[in-house]
């Protein structure tokens, strides 16, 4: 059977690598992108290839208007099909600033990469999915948006990030509504506090909060925790649940008294 193909943005580090690794372990061929050169990403790419799949790397900034077409063209040329898009790539503000001090430049950068980029990559990817495979293709196709607890939990020192993730949550609902009739399921995976490069600068803060009971499960989340959730969705384990949010937050957002 021909291997299925996934495109994972930001797939060579952090949560994106956790997703790519979980898919590779389940026999997927992968296209991954990132802003680093292929040489700088080589260690991660080799780890994915060692799991047995064909791995394509495309250097691309998802916030660039040309990136969606470049990525889809590269996937088409290498694999001729696309079964799964994992919209993972994202950035935090370069400086955490109170919303009274935040700059328009930071706001535009974060929303361009975190929201505008995935929105239009999804558009391009779906058009290719429609062209490459008929609607009666027995292999289910899927779109996954990796958002954040920050889509609903306010952090006034990184407002642009919260707004970008809240927008991504709505994008997931919009695409789920539009694509249900096309046989393409859409999900949002909403991580909590995950140990990655992005959270390295606030390790001490979250170590303390976790110990004080911030979440029900008293540990950091890992990229692999998120990757397992994505792999479950990619397998089609929730075939009657399009448009749903999968929480991967250790119980952080459970309301308690």
Residue 87 CA neighbour count, 13 Å, CB half: 36
CA dihedral 56, 61, 65, 66 (to 10 degrees): -40
CA atoms of 220 and 217, how far apart (whole Å): 9
161 as an active site residue: the answer is yes
Nearest residue to 84 via CA among 7, 176, 161: 7
Query: Which listed residue (57, 161, 206, 240) is catalytic?
Result: 161
Nearest residue to 234 via CA among 4, 1, 10, 2: 4
What the block records as the tokens of 246 is 């999968």
Catalytic residue positions, numbered:
161
């Amino acid at each position: 059977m021909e291997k299925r193909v996934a495109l994972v943005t930001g797939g060579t580090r952090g949560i994106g690598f956790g997703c790519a690794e979980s898919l590779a372990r389940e026999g997927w061929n992968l296209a991954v992108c990132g802003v680093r050169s292929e040489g700088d990403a080589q260690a991660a790419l080799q780890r994915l290839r060692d799991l047995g799949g064909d791995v394509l790397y495309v250097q691309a900034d998802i916030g660039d208007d040309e990136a969606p077409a470049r990525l889809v063209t590269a996937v088409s040329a290498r694999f001729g099909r696309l079964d799964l898009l994992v919209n993972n790539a994202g950035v935090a503000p370069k400086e955490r600033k109170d919303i009274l001090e935040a700059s328009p430049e930071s706001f535009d950068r974060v929303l361009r990469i975190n929201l505008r980029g995935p929105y239009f990559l999804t558009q391009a990817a779906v058009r290719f999915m429609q062209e490459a495979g008929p609607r009666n293709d027995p292999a289910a196709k899927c779109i996954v948006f990796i958002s954040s607890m920050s889509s609903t939990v306010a952090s006034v020192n990184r407002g642009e990030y919260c707004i970008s993730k809240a927008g991504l949550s709505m994008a997931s609902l919009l695409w789920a509504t539009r694509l249900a009739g096309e046989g393409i399921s859409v999900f949002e995976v909403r991580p909590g506090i995950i140990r990655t490069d992005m959270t390295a600068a606030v390790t001490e803060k979250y170590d303390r909060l976790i110990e004080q009971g911030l979440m029900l499960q008293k540990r950091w989340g890992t990229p692999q925790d998120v990757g397992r959730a994505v792999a479950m969705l990619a397998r089609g384990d929730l075939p009657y649940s399009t448009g749903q949010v999968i929480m991967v937050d250790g119980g952080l957002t459970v309301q308690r008294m």
